[in-house]
Chain A
C-alpha cells in the first residue's frame, strides 16, 4: 500500500518534475528567443508593439523595429526648404468611396504623435444644399500653389517648396497665428500649451516629420515627406481601408492609393475631379472626386462614437435623423 503511495507520489513528482523542466526549458528558450529578436538589429523602439508567434508556439510582443529609415537621412529645417527634386506632389480624394472609417485620421495621429483632439486630417460632413445628400469630406491641408498662409507669415516660418509641399518650421514660428486666420480651409492648428511629448528628444526635429512639436507654434498636415523619401505613401493614404486617398507626382502624372495606380490626369478627367473653394484662387493641390455612385450608404459612416456624431449636429440631414430618432 505504502509502496504504491510512494510510487504514485514519486510518479507524480516525476511528472511534476518533467513538466517543470519542460516549462522552464520553454521559458528559457522563449526568453532567449525574445532577447534574440530584440537585440539583433538596431531596434529603435517606436513605442509600438507587434505580436509575433515564435516557432515554439508562444505569442510574444516585441517593440516594432522602427523601420523608418528617416532619422538616418535627417533633413534639417534649413534643408527642408528645398523640396524633393523634380516632383510636384498632389493628392486626390475619392468622395464616392469615403465611409468615415476615420482610419486616415488615426493613422496620421499615430504617425505624427498627435493627441486625441489634434487632427491634421479632419472628416467633415458636408451637405451642399438642403436637397443634396451629404457626403463625408476628408480635409487636410491643401498645399496650395498660391498659399495665403505663406504670404502672411512675418518670419518665413511656413514656406512653399518646389515639390508643392507647404511646411511649417516650428523652430522659426513665433506663434502670431496670422496664417491660421488666413487659411480659408481652416487647415491649421495651434499648440496652445506645453505638452510632455514636446520634451521627447529621441528624434531630432525636422519640419518633414513635424515631430517633436513645440508649444506656441502652428501645426498642420505636411504630406509626410519623410515617408515619401522612403518611397512610401503618406500615413493617411496607407491607412485608408477603402482606398479613398490617392497620392502621387503631377510631373510623372501617376497617383496611387496603395492598390490602384492610375494616371492623375485621366482620373481627374474621367471622374470630373475638382478643387474645393476654387474661386478663391488659392490653387490647392488636393483634388476631390465627386460623390457620384457612392460605394456605401451614408448611414454606415455613423457607426462611430457618439461624441464624434455630435460634431455634425448642425448638418440638416443629421438633424432629420435625430428627429426621427435614428441616431
Chain B
C-alpha cells in the first residue's frame, strides 16, 4: 500500500509536465514548427525542381544530407549502445538519464534515414530496394540494419515505457489530461499490473533485448562506416573507419545526452533527479571518449601525412588549404575542450560541461563533413572543370534549411514525447527506493546481529 501511495505521489509530482504547456514551452514548440515549415517549403522546392537546387554536382555527389545521416545515426546507435550497457550496470543514478538516452536513440534513428532519403533522387522507386535488392551492396546492408535497429530500439523503448504507463493508467484520475491520452495509457500499458510473473517476464525480454541492441548498434554503425570504407577512394579506404565511426558516434551521443539532460533539468525543473553528479560522470565519459576520438583521428591522418602516398597527400593538401580552419576547430576543439573543462575541478560545472558538449556536437558534425566531402573533391583523376560548383561543394539554403528542419523535428518530437511520458521513469524511482530500503534493512539486520 506504501507502493500505491508512493506511485500516486510520483504521478502528482510529474503530472505538471504532462498536463500543462507553459508559455515558454509554447514558444519553443511553435518556433520549431516554424523552422519545420520553412524546411517543408525547401523540400517542396527540391522535389519540384530536382536536386539541382542543392549544392551537389557530378563530383561531390554526397553533401550535407549524407553528413547529417551519418551524424544522426551515430547519435542513435551510440544511444542504443549506452542505454543497453546501462541496463546491465546496477547503479541508482542511471535511472534519471535512461529515458532521455532511449528517446534520443529512437528519434535519431527516425530522423537520420530521412536525410538519406533526401539524398536519393528517385523516391518513386524506393521500393526497388526491396524488390531487386543486391546483397553485395553496402547500402542494402545499411537499409536492413537501419530498419532492424529502428524496430529494435523502438521495441526496447516501449518495454521501458510499460511500467510507467501502468502507473499513469492506475492514477489517471489524478491526471488532468485529455481522454485520448488516458485511453492511450490504458491501451499501451497492456494490462501490466507489476505482478511478480509479469515483472519477471518483462525483465527477461528487456535483458535479451539489451544484449541484441548492443550487438546491433555496433554492427549497424560498422555497416554505415563500410559504406565509405569499402570503396577505393583516398581518405575513405581506411581499415579503422568502423571503430573510428563508433567512437565518434559514442562521443556525439554522450554530448547530445548531456545537452538534453541540461535542457530537461532546467526547463522541467528536475534538479532533484538530474544532479550535478550526473553531469560530472557524463563529463568524465565525455572526456574519455574525446581522448579516444582524438586518438583515432590522429591515427587516421598521421600515417597519411607520414607516408605521403600521392592520393593521400592530395587529400591532406585540400584539407589543410581549403578546410584549414574547419579542420583545426573540428579536431582540436573536440579533443582539447573536454580535456580542459573536465580536468580542472573549478571548471567542472554543469553549465561548462554542457557548453563543452554543445561545442563538441558542432565539432563532430564538422568532423563528419571533413570525412565525407574533401574526399569527393580530390578524386584519383583530377577534376578538370570550369564550373565552380562542380569543383567545390557549397551547401545551398535548401540543404541548410532541411538540416535545421531535421534538428527541429528531433527537438519537437522529443518535447512532445516527454509530454506523454515523464522524462524520468517513475517505475525506476520506485525500484531504486525499494532497493535502498532493502539495503537499509539488510544493513540494520547486519548491525543488530
> Which residues of A come within 8 Å of B, CB atoms?
117, 122, 124-126, 139, 148, 151-157, 172-178, 180-182, 184-186, 189-190, 192-194, 215-217, 277, 280, 282, 307-308, 310-312, 314
Contact = CB atoms under 8 A, between A and B. Distances in A.
B128 A174 contact: yes
A228 to B, nearest CB: 26
A151 B137 contact: yes
Nearest to A159: B134
A177 B233 contact: no
A126 B139 CA distance: 34
Q: Is the interface of A mostly helix, strand, loop or mixed?
A: loop
A178 B376 CA distance: 12
14 contacts: A117-B387, A148-B232, A152-B136, A153-B134, A153-B137, A175-B122, A178-B138, A178-B139, A178-B227, A184-B379, A186-B383, A192-B57, A216-B121, A217-B121
Nearest to B135: A154
A187 to B, nearest CB: 9
Contacts of B349: none
B143 A193 contact: no
Given A184-B232, A192-B56, A216-B51, A152 B138 contact: yes
B140 A189 contact: no
Nearest to A139: B381
B232 A192 contact: no
B61 A154 contact: no
Contact of B231 (A173, A182, A193, A311): A182
Contact of B379 (A148, A186, A280): A186
B385 interface: yes
Contact of B232 (A172, A177, A182): A182
A130 B58 CA distance: 28
B88 to A, nearest CB: 36
Contacts of B138: 152, 178
A192 B381 contact: no
B62 interface: yes
Contact of B139 (A154, A185, A215, A307): A154
B125 interface: yes
Contacts of B448: none
B57 A173 contact: no
Listed residue (A177, A181, A186, A282) with the most chain B CB atoms within 10 angstroms of its CB = A181
Nearest to A188: B58
Nearest to A151: B136
A154 B382 contact: no
A220 to B, nearest CB: 11
Nearest to A194: B50
Contacts of B318: none
Contacts of B303: none
Contact of A310 (B49, B132, B230, B386): B386
Contact of A215 (B119, B121, B143): B121
B231 A181 contact: yes
B: interface residue count bin:
35 or more
B435 interface: no
A176 B139 contact: yes
Interface in B260-311: none
A172 B49 contact: no
A154 B137 contact: yes
B155 interface: no
B382 A184 contact: no
A155 B379 contact: no
Interface string B44-67: 000001111000111101100000
A194 B136 CA distance: 30
Contacts of B191: none
B50 A124 contact: no
Contact of B120 (A139, A175, A180): A175
A238 B143 CA distance: 44
Contacts of A156: 132, 134
Give the top 8 A-B pairs by smallest Cβ distance, nearest first: A175-B121, A216-B121, A193-B50, A193-B52, A154-B139, A177-B61, A192-B52, A311-B384
Contact of A177 (B52, B119, B129, B386): B119
B227 A155 contact: no
Given A151-B137, A184-B232, A193-B49, A124 B379 contact: no
Given A176-B119, A193-B49, A125 B384 contact: yes
Contacts of B386: 307-308, 310-311
Contacts of A186: 59, 379-381, 383
Contacts of B232: 148, 182, 184, 280, 282
B129 A155 contact: yes
A281 to B, nearest CB: 8
Contacts of A157: 128
B126 interface: yes
Interface string B213-234: 0000000000000010011110
B92 interface: no
A158 to B, nearest CB: 10
A125 B383 CA distance: 10
B264 to A, nearest CB: 37
Contact of A152 (B62, B120, B137): B137
B61 A174 contact: no
B58 to A, nearest CB: 5
Contacts of B139: 152, 154, 176, 178
Given A174-B122, A184-B233, A215-B121, 10 more contacts: A117-B387, A124-B381, A155-B128, A173-B125, A174-B128, A181-B61, A181-B233, A181-B376, A182-B233, A186-B381
A314 B314 CA distance: 13
A244 B309 CA distance: 32
A267 B40 CA distance: 59
Listed residue (B136, B143, B231) with the most chain A CB atoms within 10 angstroms of its CB = B231
Nearest to A123: B384
A105 to B, nearest CB: 13
Interface in B128-151: 128-129, 132-134, 136-140, 143
Contacts of B56: 192
Contacts of B61: 177, 180-181, 190
